[in-house]
Each structure stands twice: as C-alpha cells, then as structure tokens.
Amino acid sequence: MVEVLSPVAGVRQDVSDVPDPVFAAGMVGPGAAIRPALVKQTVVAPIDGVLAKLHPHAFVVVSDRGPGVLVHLGIDTVHLGGDGFTLLAEEQDRVRAGDEIVTWDPEYVEHAGHSSVCAVVVLDCPFPAHSLGEPGTEVALADPLFRIEC
C-alpha cells in the first residue's frame, strides 16, 4: 500500500473531473485531482523516491517499491514554457514525501487561459486509488490524498 500526499493545497476532486480527457478517463493512471488555491505555492513530492522526470509543469517520483507518481500542474501548461514556475530540485534527486520540488503560480496559469487543476496519478498501476477525503473538501499541502495498492 502506498500513501500519496497532496503536492499542493486546494480542494480535492476526482481524477475524472480533470478537464483533460486522457486524465479524466484514467488512461494515465488512477489517482486524484486538486483545484489549487490561486496563490503562489510550493509543490512537494507526494511520495519518497527518485525524481525520475522533472519539467516546470510536471514531474514523476518513482518509489523504491516500483510505482511512479505523476504530478501535473495544470492542463496544457507545457505551452507556458516554464513561465510561472521555478524549479527547486533536479532530475534524479532522491526525495522524501514533502520535499520541495517547484514553486508555481496557479493564478498566473488561469490568467494565461489554462486550467490550474492538478492531476496526481499513479503510473502503470491497475488498481483504483482510495481517497482519504471527500471530493470538494480542502486539502492542505502534504496532507494524505489517497492510498493505492501497487
């Protein structure tokens, strides 16, 4: 069982509510979504592991036990070319859940015409995520978000 922490503060949502059909259909993997508070935020690692991929708008942490967790900050934010994001870690860093990875400005993302909804999904895992809170409730930075067996 892997417990995944919330990488940002905001309001819990089902992954099916992500305004992107690939995430919403679960094709990327099971997980959750967060509508972030529209203030500058520091984003943290959701699990312990290695920062296998790092982009300003998205990153993957792979645990020693196997599953990788993708954190995608907003939708279509790759088109911002890194504007509104500042990297605080480096690819291949070993991180612990709660370590700072990037800062970002969800309000900037929204003003640029993109959704700031964050997808937090487990890659290559056939099992459903078990939410640790109800959709529509507040989640603080690094609070438990969901559990999953992988």
Residues tagged active-site: 72
Query: Which residue spans within the chain are E strands per DSSP?
Result: 2-5, 10-14, 31-36, 41-44, 49-55, 58-62, 68-73, 85-87, 94-95, 100-104, 118-123, 130-131, 138-139, 144-148
Side chain identity at 23, as an amino acid letter?
F
Query: 80 CB contacts (<8 Å, ≥6 apart)?
Result: 56, 57, 109, 112, 114
